[in-house]
Structure 1
Amino acid sequence: MQAQVENTAGKRLWIKVAGAAAVVALALAGYLSMANTHAAPDVTFTNIKGEQVSLKSLRGKVVMVNFWATSCTTCVAEMPQMVQTYNMYKDKGLDYVAVAMSYDPPNYVMNFVQTRSLPFQVALDTQSKLADSFGDVKLTPTTFVIDKQGNIIKRYVGAPKFEELHALLDKALAAA
């Protein structure tokens, strides 16, 4: 009986040690993934007015790059919140580029921009060069948040949780 109790206690101790090690490993992985930013690609957007804007020229600002399509129901549904987010943060140093996917007809994009009075820059990616440069983006919406130094700090696939996005923007905009 005594041996059985000691054996059970030893198993419990082992489970606790293994559990603690797993928690430490997950915490370390989470920390490393948060600290693991990488430089945004050196791309130039051509907006629907024909103007060219390089991502490098936006350094010093926090930038959101949103890949979307007029045929994407999630993209269309999230766009009012993206406009609201942009309007909340533009005076604090946020810039925003909405990149229409290559399969999106330019006239559909132009109509969408005009009928919804999108306040930020909209670019066409007619040859998928921008999507390829950002890691071969295929799914829409995909949104990148880029810090003031030009590093990607977050990639959202699908609609972001806007409360989380706003907290991230607050932090990134407050950073030196």
Structure 2
Amino acid sequence: MTSARHTAAAVAIALLVGAGGYLGWQSFGARETAPPVSYTLLDGSKGSIDALRGKVVLVNFWATSCTTCVAEMPQIVSTYDKYKAQGYETIAVAMSYDPPAYVSRFAETRKLPFGVAIDNTGEIAKRFGDVQLTPTTYLINKRGEIVKRYVGAPDFAALHKLVEQLLAEA
């Protein structure tokens, strides 16, 4: 090998090691804490993300006009039903542009068993990183840290495995 090739190989290896270290840090490093947002549910009760510490929480940003959101909702319901007795909670946050009457009707006709909030001002979406696309879903561990962000429908089998891991944590 020539000196130029040795140098190029060394640079390539250094970049791969650096990238691997960065990706490893992203996977195992400090997690971002979920924003301390408050919300009002359709039934008029108030809640906050901070009040859910100690539970594994799924926060789903959705809209009644979003076909993927509507299609995934039965799986979100079944996930909630499967894990709710183990300390799992779901909050469905309807986007600010979604007419409140549509959201209420959807929640009522689908018998959504978890809290549904309407983000009237867009503040909740903004605090979660300015959510624009639906569905966008966050999975939060018992310590209030964001573990996973899904844009689009999640792979529910993989989501269930992750939920089970998080529920098993102290």
Q: TM > 0.5 between the two? A: yes
Q: Secondary structure at the match of 1:96?
A: strand
Q: Secondary structure at the match of 2:70?
A: helix
**Match of 2:165, as an amino acid?**
K
Q: Secondary structure at the match of 1:66?
A: strand
List runs of 5+ in structure 2 lacking aligned partners: none
Q: Aligned partners of 1:77 and 1:20: how far apart in 2?
A: 45
> How far 1:22 moved relative to its partner?
4.4
Q: For this pair of structures, how many residues does the alignment match? A: 169
Q: Aligned partners of 2:10 and 2:161: how far apart in 1?
A: 35
Q: Secondary structure at the match of 2:113?
A: coil
- Give yes or no for the alignment of 1:99 onto 2:93: yes
TM-score of the aligned structures, taking structure 2 as reference length? 0.90
- Give yes or no for the alignment of 1:159 onto 2:153: yes
Q: Aligned partners of 2:7 and 2:126: how far apart in 1?
A: 48
Hey, which bits of structure 1, 4+ residues long, moved more than 3 A? 13-23
> How far 1:153 moved relative to its partner?
1.2
**Match of 2:51, as an amino acid?**
S
> How far 1:110 moved relative to its partner?
0.8
- Give yes or no for the alignment of 1:79 onto 2:73: yes
Q: 1:66 to 1:21 in 2, by over 3 A?
A: same
List runs of 5+ in structure 1 lacking aligned partners: 1-5
**Match of 2:102, as an amino acid?**
Y
> How far 1:36 moved relative to its partner?
3.6
- Structure 1 residue corresponding to 2:22, chosen from 23, 29, 36: 29
> How far 1:24 moved relative to its partner?
2.8
- Partner of 2:54 in structure 1? 60
Per mean C-alpha deviation after superposition, the further-off stretch among 46-55 and 83-92 is 83-92
- Structure 2 residue corresponding to 1:111, chosen from 105, 109, 115: 105
Identity %: 51
TM-score of the aligned structures, taking structure 1 as reference length? 0.87
Larger radius of gyration: 1
